[in-house]
Amino acid sequence: MRARTHILFSVLCLLFYVDYVEVKHILLFSFLLFFAALFPDIDEAGSAIGKKTKPFSNIINIICGHRGVFHSLLLPSAAALTLLFFQQTEAAVAVFIGYVSHLVMDMITPAGIYLFYPFRWKIRGPIPVNSFFEKMLFWTFIVIISIKLLVLYSAFV
Ligand SMILES: [Zn+2]
C-alpha cells in the first residue's frame, strides 16, 4: 500500500484505540504509532520512508529484501517487548498498533507478506497497490476518520 493509505489506516486505529483506552501522552503516542506505521517500508528504497533513509534502506533491502522480516510480527514484537521491559507500556502499545496496522494493509495486497517470518506462509489479499480499490479504501478511511473526528469534536463542545 502507499504511505498515505498506511497513515490513514493508522489514524483510524488510533481513533478507535482512544475510544476504549485512555492515553496519557497522546502526542508521543500518536507520533510513535504513525512512525511505526511507516517504518516497515524502510526495506524498500523507493518508499516514502526509504527515500529519506536511502543508503540505510538499500542495505536493508539487499540483506532482508522487500516484505521479508521487516513485514512480519518479529520486529514489532521485539520492539514492544523491549519497551515493556523498560516499563514503557504506552510506547510499546503505540509501536505495536502502528506496525501491525501497516502489516494488515500489506496483507490485503496480492504481493502479501510473510506475517510469521521465518515461516514461509504468505498471507495475501485481492487489493493491488495504487489500484482503484486502494483509492476506494483511502476515501473510505477519510470518511470514517471525518465522522470519528466530528463525534469527538461534538463531545467537547
Ligand atoms: Zn509495506
Q: pLDDT tens for residues 53-79?
A: 999 999 999 999 899 999 999 999 999
Q: Which helix (H) or strand (E) holds 144?
A: helix 132-156
Q: Is the dihedral of CA 82, 88, 89, 94 positive or negative?
A: negative
Transcribe 26-85 into DSSP letters: HHHHHHHHHHHHHGGGGGSTTSHHHHHTHHHHHHHHHHH-TTSGGGSSHHHHHHHHHHHH
- Provide the residue type at 108 as one letter: I
pTM: 0.94
Grid cell digits, residue 105: 494493509
Cα 154 to ligand 1 centroid, rounded to whole Å = 35
Q: Are 37 and 20 spatial neighbours (Cβ–Cβ below 8 Å)?
A: no
Cα 151 to ligand 1 centroid, rounded to whole Å = 31
Cα 46 to ligand 1 centroid, rounded to whole Å = 11
Q: CA-CA distance, 94 to 11, in Å (whole number)? A: 11
Cα 84 to ligand 1 centroid, rounded to whole Å = 25
- Provide the residue type at 106 as one letter: D
Report the candidate in 146, 82, 71 with the shortest Cα–Cα distance to residue 109.
71
**Once rounded to an integer, what is the mean pLDDT over residues 42-56?**
92
pLDDT over threshold 90, residue 92 = yes
Distance from CA of residue 82 to its chain's centroid? 19
pLDDT band at 157 (very low <50, low <70, confident <90, very high): confident
Per-residue pLDDT, 71: 97
Q: CA-CA distance, 48 to 17, in Å (whole number)? A: 25
Per-residue pLDDT, 143: 98
Residue 78 lies in domain: 3-156
Cα 10 to ligand 1 centroid, rounded to whole Å = 13
Cα 99 to ligand 1 centroid, rounded to whole Å = 10
Cα 44 to ligand 1 centroid, rounded to whole Å = 8
Cα 102 to ligand 1 centroid, rounded to whole Å = 6
Per-residue pLDDT, 155: 87
Cα 146 to ligand 1 centroid, rounded to whole Å = 25
pLDDT band at 156 (very low <50, low <70, confident <90, very high): confident
Cα 111 to ligand 1 centroid, rounded to whole Å = 10
* Total domains present in the chain: 1
**Residues 100-152 pLDDT 10s:** 999 999 999 999 999 999 999 999 999 999 999 999 999 999 999 999 999 98
